[in-house]
Each structure stands twice: as structure tokens, then as C-alpha cells.
Structure 1
């Protein structure tokens, strides 16, 4: 399993489903935990339908082994992100209308409005995360890559099972967040947020599956354990914020645009395009990109959040 820099206690995340209708209780738990876990929030059948449509795309691009099944697909050998074949496959995943439709699921929208308020901006940049066997996601903060307002919430929605050995999601539990964490470049070429050994404990959300939803604050530090199973694990990530706060223009484009085509091409043939609507008046800001990834935390302003406690004056 991946080795996290933090050596604190690991605790199982608490189910927030019983307080889903209580905005004050949801905000208190988000402030304390940096996350909210909802078991069975979405109909499992809808996620099974999404998985089937994604599986069809993956098979068409020869991304899956012949001996796999739709419930727990097995990836073909030597298939990894970043190759030319991967980009063609990924843009076809982005064409799946149901993936964008589920970002507007009433069950998720009710939770987001309870926390963020009724004036909601549903980011149209939606991400498909595929966790291959042997793959993990290092500790990171979404705010570094999303920017705009710090108070962006991500709905992490698995469409395959995520058992304890299959890439469990972790979130750092902190009394207050330090702002934007420094990044360290890894030998693999990726980066991870620096987390000291005394900076809190890790919430762990094992045995997640289709229908469950984890809500994550953009300043919370999150990671995904190594996928020790032979199966491909997958989740979609939807992001939301108050429409009254700033948003980066990139958050309204497809994920990985312009390597992935724009909406005019991706949404061709959809039954509806209302999944792509955004409020008429939103304040857009530029995305800040440093010369070196290790200096990103120095380039970004120290964040001010109305949902989490942020340490003042720390870099």
C-alpha cells in the first residue's frame, strides 16, 4: 500500500447520510473533517449504467482484458495514462452524456446547496479517474489545480467498487488547514503535497461502491491508496461552488481541454445540453501556473475560506 508521509492514526470516515438534511450540521462536519461521506446517496442502477457505457468505450479502444467483466473490469496489459491511445479513449469517455447528467443528480445538488447556498455553480469540467492496478494518487489539494474560490467542493463518485485493497480514498483530518501546501516532485514525475508527521490523522473511506458519494473541500489534503487488486477502479469527480465567487475559465471547459475537444464537438448527438449551462454572470479569473511546480504555493494567494479554518500567515 502507498506510504503516506503522515504517520498518524487512520480512522474510518463517518457516514454523513443521517445529517444530509441539516445544513448547519453538514457545515460543522465539513469544517471538522474536510469531507462528507454519504452511503447510498445515488441510485446504484444509475452508476451501473454509467459503468456499462464507460466499459463500452474502454472495450472499443482495447483498454480492457478479454477475461474481465463489466462489474469489475480488468485492464489490458501496458495500458496507462498519457499515451496517444489514452487521449483518444479519454475524449470518448467525455462524450458520454450520462456522466455529465449525473453531475445534476437532485440528491447531489441538494447536498451542495445545503453547504454552499442556493446560488450554485456546477463546474462543467468533469473528471473521469481510472485507478489501474499498482497505481495510487499521492497527497494533494484540489485548490492548486482548480483555483478560483478556495471553497470548491468535489463530489467523488465511484462507478466501480473500491474495496480496502482496491485504492481506498484518504483525507487528512486537520484542526485547521495550512493554506496551499508546498509540492515535492517525485521520481515518477508526479508531485505530492508535503505533509508533516504531526499534521493530523487520515480519514480512510474503505469499501466504497456505486451509489456512495464523498464530498471533499478543495483545501483538504486527499490521497488514494495503491490499487492492489487486478481490477480497474473508477470514479467521476464533479465540482461545485457558489456562483457568487470567482471561477477559473478552465473550470467551464472540458477536462484536459484543449487536448480534448471543446463542447461543440463532445456534446454532438446529446439529447440535452443543459448539463453544460452556467449562470450568465460569473466572475472569471486567470489560472496561475508557476515556472516550477515546487513554487506553486508561493504563487497562489493565501486562501480565505468561509467553510474551513485556515491558518493565517503560513506559507
Structure 2
């Protein structure tokens, strides 16, 4: 840890009461760069999604057959046979084969269109929220080869509108010991920071020096979620529960009127929408972004390595 960054000393505060005060919600969001919501989703719907995701692992033999499915206990003999390249593929904590099957789940993509999420982001943005179709599932298998996601800002990877926000929702109970998400409170106000190459999801680590911000974190229960601005520095905590799988979703939203980068409309992974859509029954979830009139911003690779941003 950078000695200039203080250890976590802030606990999450529930932002749910702010939903009734839009102006205050936006003020706090701009100040902190994130908002935490306690029991935002019904526990039952989270556990249904958890069962679907764990079912994919079960089909591949990656769960312990002697444990209840919802416990998410990995089959370590098989997991330990996976190469570091397989376990760290695309930063999602599992193999490409498993992730392909997850990306084909209609229910997984439908979750991004949850009415409560769209309404909440509508309040935050003060206009209609557009959900990016490039939904991400983190299926973090328990493996010593798995690299922990380093501190980073999402904007470097997604670009488009800086006012893009991510919803990080654990699919099950995720205490800090299982590797939840930690956020550098207020770091969104520091602008785009310099980076260095690093292992873990994204392959880049934000350089943190003399910022004076504090890490905020907490123990998540099924139904909790945290949302954060694209410039908010965040990281994953290490999984210290041997054998346990950690599941979470990354879902991104932006004001519908703002520009977007083309890749945000592609699947997450080397997949094609037509192939992922096979067997889907909800036509409203397919290519819904084609009904929008976006201004597209090109991806700028150069901003990743701005030397004057490095202290």
C-alpha cells in the first residue's frame, strides 16, 4: 500500500434515505464519488441470480459436489489444475468457457434493466438513464493464481461519458474477508490519475500519492450494492476464505443524452450478440441501443500513459 494512502477508516453509510431528496443525493454523490445502498434488492432475487451463476460452475465441475450449491464451495482439485492464464482470463476470475455460458444467460443481462436501478440512476442523473449492454460478471474462483484487482479508475477502460457510473452488486453475502469492493472516497474529484502496468483485472494500477483520501469499505449482504463514478478509484480486497467463490456483477449506466464509446455496446468478451442471444425470449433486451441517437467518441489510447499525470 502507498504510505500516503491511509488504511480504511470509513464505513459505508446507507444512501437510501437520499432517494427522497434528489438534490442532496447528487451533492453527496459528487462529494464522495460513490453511494452505498443497503438491501436495495430483495434478497430472494439476488439468491436466484446466485443460483444461476453457480449452476454454470456446477455444470463444469468447478464446485464441490458434497456441498450445497448456494454455499459456492469450489472443487479445489480441478480449480488448481487451471493455469494462471486460464484463471486470470479477462479479469473475471474464471475460464473463457465458463464466462461464455454466463454471458448467454438472458436473466443475467435482464438484471441490468431492473426497474429500481433505472429509477435510481434516473434520480441521480436528473434524466433518463441508459444501461450499457456490456454487462460484466465476476466469477472469482478460489485460486492462489488469481490476481486481485488493483486500484484503478474505470474511465480509462470505458471512456465515452465521464458521467458513467458502475453498479457493483454482490451475488450473495460478501464480507470483507471474501474480497469485497473498497473505494477511495472523494477520489473522483482528483481527475484522471496516472497509471502503471499491474497484474489483475484491467492490467493497470492507478498511481496514488499525496492525495489524502481514505478507503471506504464494509461487509456486503445479499441485496446490498454500491455505485461509483467512472473516476472514483476502487479495488478488490483479497479473498481470505479458502475454497469460497465470490460472485458479483458490474453494470454500467450513463445519462442517455451523453456521448458513448462504441465498445460499450459490445459484449464483454470475444463474443457476438447474435450468438449470445440464442434461445432468448425477450426481444426487448436485444439490440435495444439501436433505438438511441448517440454521439460516439473514439477511444483514446494515449490518455492511459500521460506522463504529466504521474507523480
TM category (shorter chain) comes to: 0.7 to 0.9
Please report how far the alpha carbon of residue 35 of structure 1 lies from its aligned counterpart in structure 2 after TM superposition.
Answer: 0.4
Query: What runs of 5+ residues in structure 2 fail to find an aligned partner?
Result: none
Give the structure 1 partner of residue 192 of structure 2: 180
In the superposition, the TM-score normalised over structure 2's length comes to: 0.86
Contact 2:149 2:200 in 1 (8 A): no
Give the structure 1 partner of residue 306 of structure 2: 298
Contact 1:249 1:286 in 2 (8 A): yes
| 1-structure distance, mates of 2:66, 2:209 | 43
Contact 1:141 1:193 in 2 (8 A): yes
Give the structure 2 partner of residue 244 of structure 1: 257
| 2-structure distance, mates of 1:187, 1:102 | 29
Please report how far the alpha carbon of residue 67 of structure 1 lies from its aligned counterpart in structure 2 after TM superposition.
Answer: 3.6
Please report how far the alpha carbon of residue 124 of structure 1 lies from its aligned counterpart in structure 2 after TM superposition.
Answer: 0.3
Give the structure 2 partner of residue 302 of structure 1: none
| 1-structure distance, mates of 2:111, 2:155 | 23
Contact 1:160 1:209 in 2 (8 A): yes
Please report how far the alpha carbon of residue 4 of structure 1 lies from its aligned counterpart in structure 2 after TM superposition.
Answer: 5.8
Higher helix proportion: 2
| 1-structure distance, mates of 2:277, 2:231 | 31
Matches within 5 A, 1:78-89: 78=80, 79=82, 80-82=87-89, 86-89=95-98
| 1-structure distance, mates of 2:116, 2:178 | 26
Match of 1:282 among 272, 283, 294: 294
Please report how far the alpha carbon of residue 154 of structure 1 lies from its aligned counterpart in structure 2 after TM superposition.
Answer: 0.6
Contact 2:131 2:253 in 1 (8 A): yes
Please report how far the alpha carbon of residue 34 of structure 1 lies from its aligned counterpart in structure 2 after TM superposition.
Answer: 0.7
Matches within 5 A, 1:48-127: 48-76=47-75, 77-78=79-80, 79=82, 80-82=87-89, 86-127=95-136
Give the structure 1 partner of residue 155 of structure 2: 143
SS at match of 1:75: coil
Give the structure 2 partner of residue 270 of structure 1: 280
| 1-structure distance, mates of 2:156, 2:299 | 10
| 2-structure distance, mates of 1:240, 1:207 | 24
Query: What runs of 5+ residues in structure 1 fail to find an aligned partner?
Result: 300-312
Asked if residue 46 in structure 1 is aligned to residue 56 in structure 2, the reply is: no
Contact 2:151 2:205 in 1 (8 A): yes
Contact 1:64 1:74 in 2 (8 A): yes
Instruction: Call closer, same or farther: CA 1:14–1:268 in 2, change over 3 Å.
Output: same
